[in-house]
Amino acid sequence: MRIVSLITACLVAAVLFGLVIERERFFALVSDLSPYEEAAAPVDTPDPELVPDDAVPEAEAVEDGVIRVMAKRSVAQEIGTQVRLRGETEAARQVSVVSEVSGKIISTPLRKGAFVEDGDLLCSVDPGTRESALAEARARLTEAEARRPEVEARIPEAQARLIEAKARLKEARINATAAERLSQDGFASQTRVANTEAAVQSAQAAISTAEAGVKAAEAGLDSLQASIESAQAAVTRAQTEIDRLQITAPFSGVLETDTAELGSLLQPGGLCATVIQLDPIKVVGFVPETEVGRVEVGALAGVRLNQGPDLQAEVTFLSRSADPTTRTFRVELTVPNPDLSIRDGQTAEILIQSQGVMAHLLAASSLTLNDEGTLGVRTIDADSLARFMPVTVLRDAPEGVYITGLPEQVDVITVGQEFVTDGVEVAPSFEEVIQ
């Protein structure tokens, strides 16, 4: 029984081999062995003159060395290209609000997730002795301003003394001139002449003293003005310290952290809260340098998140400098988010609209590589010779792939391109005719 099974298995294997691998030879052998071949009824051949021309297919003669291939006559069409990126959502603004003064928190904390408006109180710091420092600075300012009339009055007094000294100098010079003339005529003694000259010198000294008094009065006024400005600066500084005790929200947004706890001690630079703005929200991606020329500020774009509906956006920023590590350019889109349903950090797929280009739609199986590894297709020229043409794949579609780099109309080999090289003569059968 075992030998019979082995023989049966061998016969079945031989029949399958003949049917699958050597099908033509198998049927030819069966036909030769058939006893009814000669008895078969002859088939009447219709008269060619009675059959229409389009009903008799003409047999195409192929010379030796010519390779049959399938081809498609492709015509370029304009398509709207899109730049596809992977990115993530990012808050329009995010600020860590810190304290500029030191002190104890005396306000009730707000919990993270709460929505705050611009100017809302986040943290309140204990004023301590800052109000007393402000009162002291204001008192010094008042004192300095009260001295202004007294100091200003010294300037006219000094100027009057200067005028008086100048008048005395003039009188002394007149007396000295008269005494000199009388002394020449013998009517005045040398003692009188010496006295008049001494009076002139004394008057000149009085003028110098008066001028110094004027300058001192003016300097006193300048010193008073400096004291007033210093007092005003102290008042401003004390008032600023008090104003910094109330830490408010810089813009409307959502608290990402709790505000500082009641009773905690804040130092300058200590964190009060983190506020983020999610309406509108940004979608950030990075464009490779090969695609950056197709992106423009103001271009429309679509955004698809992992959850939620597709969104319409607009390109609002395109970086002018590339990232030194990835050699990509940052691009930002702005998306309205009134209900705050989009969160910061969500993964997003970005499609940025760009200008249309002329492209051919071909099956992906039509693509091939040349000896240098360049991607392209095999085409047929006017002399029915195969030619390799490099192409660039724009994007794929359910019907195939869109490629550029070909003429507006071209015959592309779709089946058999792997068996021909440049300059090989081919006999194409076009898909349009067969279908």
The C-alpha atoms of residue 362 and residue 360 are separated, in whole angstroms, by: 6
Number of domains in the chain: 3
- Token look-up 């029915």 returns 384
Instruction: Give the pLDDT band of residue 60 (cuts 50, 70, 90).
Output: very low
The model scores a pTM over 0.85: no
Q: Angle 98-99-102 (CA atoms, 0-180°, nearest 5)?
A: 150
Same-domain status, 336 and 373: no
- pLDDT tens digit sequence for 377-401: 999 998 999 999 999 988 788 889 9
Same-domain status, 331 and 237: no
Instruction: Give the pLDDT band of residue 30 (cuts 50, 70, 90).
Output: low
Most confidently modeled of 8-12, 36-40, 289-293?
289-293
Instruction: Give the pLDDT band of residue 120 (cuts 50, 70, 90).
Output: very high
Domain end point (choices 353, 386, 404)? 353
Quote the domain boundaries for residue 233. Answer: 131-243
Same-domain status, 310 and 369: no
The C-alpha atoms of residue 76 and residue 409 are separated, in whole angstroms, by: 6
Tokens for 370, please give them: 């040349």
Same-domain status, 331 and 372: no
Question: Which CATH number covers residue 345?
Answer: 2.40.30.170
Question: Which CATH number covers residue 181?
Answer: 1.10.287.620
Task: Answer yes or no: is 257 within a domain.
Answer: no
Alpha-carbon distances, residue 431 vs 48, 305, 322, 365, 414 (angstroms): 28, 41, 47, 14, 9
- pLDDT tens digit sequence for 160-203: 888 888 888 888 788 777 777 777 766 666 777 677 778 878 87
Same-domain status, 377 and 331: no
Same-domain status, 141 and 234: yes
Own/partner pairs for 214-217, CB < 8 Å, 24+ apart?
A: 214/155, 214/158, 214/159, 214/162, 216/154, 216/158, 217/151, 217/154, 217/155, 217/157, 217/158
The C-alpha atoms of residue 171 and residue 156 are separated, in whole angstroms, by: 23
Residue 434: its pLDDT value, please? Answer: 58
